[in-house]
Amino acid sequence: MRASHLEDFYSFLRFPSISTDDDYSERVSECAHWLVEKLTGIGLKAELVPTPGHPIVWARNQHREGRRTVLIYGHYDVQPPDPLELWDSPPFDPVLKDGYVFARGATDNKGQILSHILGVQETMEQRNELPVNLHFVIEGEEEIGSGNLGNFLHQHRSELGCDVVVVSDTGMIAPHTPTLSYGLRGVAALELKVTGAKIDLHSGIFGGAVANPATALAQLLATLHDRNGHIAIAGFYDDVAPLEDWEREAWKKLPIDVDAEVLKETGAPALFGEAGFSTLERIWARPTAEINGVGGGYQGQGTKTVIPSHAIAKLTFRLVPNQKADEIIALAKKHLEKNLPAGVTLAMTSGHNGPWYLTDPYNRFGQAAQRALQKAFNAQVALIREGGSIPIVSDFRNVLGVETLLLGLALPGCRAHSPNENFPLENLDAGIRMNQAVMEELATLR
C-alpha cells in the first residue's frame, strides 16, 4: 500500500459527507470538490454536476472510437454516525487497527469507490492511458434514495452511452472470496393507519363498546403470514420465478455457514423463515412482507388506560423476479381491506418502490468480471444474489440500456450504517487490482 493511497483514503474519510442532514451540506459539497480535484489529478476530465440536492461528480478520460465504454458508479455521501457513543474512535477521524481502517464510510462507499479511482490512477501512471473509455459517476445522495440520479442519467443519456456499468457497493460472501452479485431483491412500501374513535378514549368508560384500533391492527397484520412464514396474500407468489438448479447448486458450495453467521450477526434466538427453503434462498430468492414499524396509543413508562384512537404500521415487501411492485401493492391492499376487522377504518399509503434486479453472471460481461475477480484475488469466485435493493441498477438498465456488474468489496463484519464501520486495507489493495483487471478484461472481451 502506497503512503499516498492511505493519505487519499484518510482525506476522503475526513469529510462528514452526511447527505441526510442539511447542517452538513457544506461538508458534502467540500467532499465532492475534493473528488473532482483528485480525479482531475489522475488525468481525467472531472466536473461537478449540480442537482436540486447534492452535486454529482462526473469524470471521463479522453474517449476514443472503437473502444469499449465502462461506467463506474459509486457514492461519496455517508450515513449519519449516530449513536456516537458506540464508536470506539471518532467516526470522521480514521484510525488504522490490525489492518482495518475505522471510520464512517470506510466501506460504504468511500473505500470501495476509492479503490477504483486508485486503480485508474495506477493504470494511468503505468501506461498514461486506459484500455477503455471511462465514466466515473459518483453521487452524493445514495443514502437518501438517489433522488436526482435518474434525472441526471436521462439528461445525459447519449453522453453516458456505455457498454456496461461497474458498481462496488455490495458484499463479499467471505474474506478473500471474490464475489459477483448477479441479483438483488426489489422493495415496495405500504403504510397502514387503522382508526377507531376520534380521540384516545378512557378504557374504563368505553372499553368493550367500541373497537380498539391497536387490536384491530394486530389482527390485520396477523393475516399477512401463516405460522410457517408463508405470506398469505392471495396471488402474492404467482409471479415468483423458481430458483434455477445451477443457482441452488452454486449456493450450496459457497464457503460459508450462513445459518451460523446469521445467528451470530443478528443475535436472534433462532432462525425463522418460510418453510421449505434454505436461509440463503429465503434471503436472496424469496419475497418477504416485513413490518418495519408499528405504533399506537401510550408507549411511555407505566400505564395509561386508553383505547388509542388509531394505530399505524409501516410495511415493506422485498420482491423477487418476476414480481411487479405495483401489482404486489394492489394485492396487499385488497387483502388488507378484505381482512379488516369490524368497527374501525383503514387508510393505506403506498411509499417508494424499487425493482428487483437479475442478470446472467455467465453472459460475456459476467464472464469477464469473473475472470477479473479470479485474477485480482487469486481465488475462486462466488456467484451470489443479495437480499437488499439497489434501485439505480434498474435505472442503468432502463435508461442506458446496459447491465451492471456488482463487484462488492464489503466484508460481512464491515458494519456499514453502524458504529465502528471499517474496511480492511487489503481490500483497498484488492480493489485496485480488481479495477485494473476488470478494465483489461472488458477491453479485450470479444
The span from the CA of 37 to the CA of 45, in Å, is 10
Answer whether 258's CB lies under 8 Å from 279's CB: yes
Residue 207 lies near a copy of itself (rule: CB under 8 A): yes
Residue 204 lies near a copy of itself (rule: CB under 8 A): yes
Nearest to a copy of itself of 94, 186 (CB atom): 186
Nearest to a copy of itself of 296, 361 (CB atom): 296
Contacts of residue 394, defined as CB under 8 A and 6 or more positions apart, other chains included, come to: 354, 355, 357
Answer whether 354's CB lies under 8 Å from 150's CB: no
Chain residues 307-346 in contact with a copy of itself, contact rule CB under 8 A: 307-308, 311-314, 316, 318, 341-345
Residue 304 lies near a copy of itself (rule: CB under 8 A): yes
Cα R_g (the chain), whole angstroms: 24
Residue 222 lies near a copy of itself (rule: CB under 8 A): yes
The span from the CA of 445 to the CA of 370, in Å, is 12
Residue 173 lies near a copy of itself (rule: CB under 8 A): no
The one among 31, 233, 283, 325 contacting a copy of itself by CB under 8 A: 283
Chain residues 132-161 in contact with a copy of itself, contact rule CB under 8 A: none
Nearest to a copy of itself of 55, 81 (CB atom): 81
Please name which of 368, 423, 361, 365 lies closest in space to residue 386, comparing C-alpha atoms. 361
Nearest to a copy of itself of 138, 414 (CB atom): 414
CB of 85 to a copy of itself, least distance (A): 15
Which three cell numbers, joined as nine digits, stand for 53? 440536492
Distant-in-sequence contacts of 299-303, Cβ < 8 A, 24+ apart: none
Which three cell numbers, joined as nine digits, stand for 430? 484488492
CB of 161 to a copy of itself, least distance (A): 31
| Type of residue found at 256 | I
The one among 127, 198, 252, 446 contacting a copy of itself by CB under 8 A: 198
69-75 and 133-139 as β-strands: parallel, antiparallel, unpaired? parallel
CB of 338 to a copy of itself, least distance (A): 13
185 DSSP assignment? -
Please name which of 151, 133, 158 lies closest in space to residue 65, comparing C-alpha atoms. 133
Residue 224 lies near a copy of itself (rule: CB under 8 A): yes
Q: Which residues pair with 311 in a beta bridge?
A: 194, 296
Residue 286 lies near a copy of itself (rule: CB under 8 A): yes
The one among 90, 99, 293, 401 contacting a copy of itself by CB under 8 A: 293
Residue 347 lies near a copy of itself (rule: CB under 8 A): no
The span from the CA of 111 to the CA of 171, in Å, is 13
Chain residues 369-428 in contact with a copy of itself, contact rule CB under 8 A: 386-389, 417-418
Residue 303 lies near a copy of itself (rule: CB under 8 A): yes
Residue 256 lies near a copy of itself (rule: CB under 8 A): no
Chain residues 33-52 in contact with a copy of itself, contact rule CB under 8 A: none
Contacts of residue 362, defined as CB under 8 A and 6 or more positions apart, other chains included, come to: none
Nearest to a copy of itself of 30, 191 (CB atom): 191
The one among 51, 219, 367, 374 contacting a copy of itself by CB under 8 A: 219
